[in-house]
Structure 1
Amino acid sequence: MEKLRRIALIAQHNRKHDLLEWIECHYSVLIGYKLISTKPMGDLIGKVINNKLNDTSTKNFDIIKLKSDAITEEQQLGEMITEGKIDLIILLIDPLQRKPQNTDIGDLLKLLLLYDVPTACNLSTATFMISSPIVNHLLPSVEKNNLAFIELD
């Protein structure tokens, strides 16, 4: 039996509505995955998916929600990436935001590149990723040993 792929769904403040609309359109595909998100966004995603499911099912859909405490959610995601616990990520960044929300997003993007995690930063790419026939046959993440030669700032 093939393992369930894990998709992280993250959106900056001005992109949350876009991500929720996209999830509403693609919920039937997304329920075949383990979804991971921040606590506030995870609550919203859960409402959207469960509202759709309640039309056809009595089952509630669970989402893995990152803890909102001392360690930032981006740092928790970074840890999950290095441990191979994220298979795909949809990371909607607000390109019109004057200053980056924080440097954690930049660090997160570095990790996604280093560990070769398929990443969608816009909804068109996200749609291509989840609708691809090879999405469940992705290559395993890059091994930590292969990263030994890389120096990070």
Structure 2
Amino acid sequence: MASEQCIALIAHDQKKDDMADFARQHSASLAKWRIVATGTTGGRVQDACPGLNVTRLKSGPLGGDQQIGAMIAQGEVQMLIFFVDPLTSMPHDVDVKALTRLATVYDIPMALNRATAEKLVDFQL
């Protein structure tokens, strides 16, 4: 397991603005973590918070969600913040299920919406 604590950030579809705003509001807390994010989400977070060190993986539909899942399974990710967009068609449905299953199996804190993410960040940091 990595010694540095790592948080994964993912936002699907219309939730990317919400993730960028969340990162902006909690940038001081997020700066204490190593951050990995799917491609587009990572770009939006970097634009909103240039001071954060964000490792961008592939875009979610191109394998980024699975990359984060593998990192969870390998013990490299200690928290998942995954803003799922419940009001759009669900082409990502299998990715959502896979990531929530892995976060549950490996018993890491997970937030699927902003209210829970804010509580997790306040609690964890």
The interval holding the TM-score normalised by the smaller chain is 0.7 to 0.9
Distance 1:71 1:98, change over 3 A: closer
Name which structure has the greater RCO, CA cutoff 8 Å, separation 6+: 2
2:40 equivalent in structure 1: 40
Q: Which runs of 5+ in 1 are unaligned?
A: 51-59, 137-153
Q: Percent identity?
A: 28
2:67 equivalent in structure 1: 76
List structure 1 segments (4+ residues) > 2 angstroms apart after TM superposition.
Answer: 67-71, 97-102
CA distance in 2, matches of 1:28, 1:74: 25
CA distance in 1, matches of 2:75, 2:31: 21
Q: Which runs of 5+ in 2 are unaligned?
A: none
- Pairwise CA distance, 1:71: 5.9
Task: Compute the TM-score of the two structures, normalised by the length of structure 1.
Answer: 0.72
Structure with greater Cα Rg: 1
CA distance in 2, matches of 1:70, 1:93: 13
1:103 equivalent in structure 2: 94
Task: Compute the TM-score of the two structures, normalised by the length of structure 2.
Answer: 0.87
1:127 equivalent in structure 2: 118
CA contact (8 A) 1:4 1:32 kept: no
Distance 1:4 1:95, change over 3 A: same
Matched residue type, 2:99? L
